[in-house]
């Protein structure tokens, strides 16, 4: 049982480049999330999805886009990368009401130079 | 504004003692509160969930309390071990809908042998 899988683990981008962070879960969870974590800070919610075809903004959505075409996949797109997007990104999934614990991936460490 | 604060950034204790971590919140009325453990370079791992109508929850050497009047949760690790060294995060869900979990910045616990 793989759980939540994120790729890549590390990436260096130049300012203005774009990339997609991949996230897949095999637990048939409806709820999926993208968080970013800066040093000494808590996790900040970027976007979330409550099911295929449904996405919504979190606390810090600017500069990011998401899509949810299947239950399993929830990619995060960075357009025109900026140094402020240097962070560790975590994808997570949750089974739904009555099963409210988050399962996290191992993270993607992104540096924008 | 809404805020979650964890008592200190770092806490050092001697092996065998009880570690107590604090999570305070303001301007929230959470349906439940969760605690996660995060090791360096890894995603957070769920430990315990306590609901607003519960005063205390236990799991092995872990105990969580939840005081909605004080707006505070305490997280205890009894008979602490060096392997308990990690960052511990509290998270709460204001709405109970599981849509937007909000995290504190964490407390880094070091258990000294």
- Residue A77 near residue A64, CB atoms below 8 Å: yes
Burial of residue B101 (number of CB atoms within 10 Å: 0-12, 13-18, 19+):
buried
> What pLDDT band is residue B30 in, cutting at 50, 70 and 90?
confident
Beta strands B3-6 and B19-26: pairing type?
antiparallel
Tell me which residues of chain A, numbers 60 to 89, contact chain B at a CB-CB cutoff of 8 Å: none
> What pLDDT band is residue B31 in, cutting at 50, 70 and 90?
confident
Tell me which residues of chain B, numbers 3 to 42, contact chain A at a CB-CB cutoff of 8 Å: 4, 9, 32, 34, 36, 41-42
For residue A5, give the chain B residue with the closest CA.
B43
pLDDT at res. B74: 96
Residue B70: other Cβ atoms inside 10 A: 11
pLDDT digits (tens, 9 = 90+) for A34-48: 999 998 788 999 999
Per-residue pLDDT at B57 exceeds 90:
yes
- Tokens linked to A98: 């009555």
Per-residue pLDDT at B97 exceeds 70:
no
pLDDT digits (tens, 9 = 90+) for A61-108: 999 999 999 999 999 999 899 999 999 999 999 876 677 789 999 999
Return phi, psi of residue A109, to 5°.
-90, 115
């Amino acid at each position: 049982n793989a759980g939540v899988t994120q790729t890549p683990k590390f990436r260096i981008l130049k300012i203005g480049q774009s990339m997609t962070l991949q996230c897949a879960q095999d637990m048939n969870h409806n709820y999926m999330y993208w968080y970013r974590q800066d040093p000494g800070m808590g996790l900040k919610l970027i976007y979330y999805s409550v099911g295929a075809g449904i996405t919504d903004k979190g606390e810090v959505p600017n500069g990011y886009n998401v899509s949810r075409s299947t239950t399993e996949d929830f990619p995060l797109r960075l357009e025109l990368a900026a140094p402020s997007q240097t962070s560790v990104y975590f994808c997570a999934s949750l089974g739904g009401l009555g099963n409210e614990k988050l399962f996290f991936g191992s993270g993607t460490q992104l540096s924008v130079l | 504004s809404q805020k979650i604060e964890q008592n200190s950034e770092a806490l050092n204790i001697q092996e065998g003692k009880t570690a107590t971590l604090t999570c305070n919140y303001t301007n929230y009325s959470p349906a439940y509160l969760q605690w996660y453990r995060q090791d360096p370079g890894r995603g957070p791992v769920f430990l315990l969930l306590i609901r607003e109508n519960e005063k205390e929850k236990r799991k092995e050497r872990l105990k969580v309390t939840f005081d909605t009047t004080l707006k505070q949760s305490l997280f205890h690790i009894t008979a602490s071990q060096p392997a308990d060294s990690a960052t511990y995060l509290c998270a709460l869900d204001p709405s109970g809908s599981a849509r937007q979990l909000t995290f504190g910045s964490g407390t880094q616990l070091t258990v000294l042998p």
